[in-house]
Amino acid sequence: MDYEFIDIRQRHYIAFLKCLKRFQPDEWAEIDDLPAEVYMDVLVRAGIEAGWFGDSLTIEQLDDMMPKDVDQIAIAVAEVYRNVKTPDPN
């Protein structure tokens, strides 16, 4: 699956945080309580909805992916999240 991240700005970051909460299933009070498989899906869905992938990845494409591919993209989303929050040491 080919996808690209856009240049993440504050508006994309805040949208992502709001989407994380929106996609969190009601039966789990905290996002940290989600099973890993659900958490990975929520990370990717939030990234898509927040526009992190531009037009390169859609919810429909996500729904048709193999779980291992979703996991790989979720790991990439987490890495981008870390990078946008980590100050440049220079």
Q: For the purposes of burial, counting CB atoms within 10 Å of the CB of 60, is it exposed (0-12), middle (13-18) or buried (19 or more)?
A: exposed
Query: Which residue carries 């993440």 as its tokens?
Result: 8
How confident is the model at residue 35, as a pLDDT? 86
Which residues are within 8 A (CB) of 43 and not within 5 positions of it... i.e. 6 or more apart?
20, 74, 77, 78
- The Cα-based distances of 35 to 4, 14, 24, 43 in angstroms read 26, 24, 11, 12
Could you tell me the residue ranges of all domains in the chain? 10-85
How confident is the model at residue 16, as a pLDDT? 96
User: For the chain (length 90 residues), average pLDDT per consecutive 10?
Assistant: 92 95 78 85 96 96 96 97 86
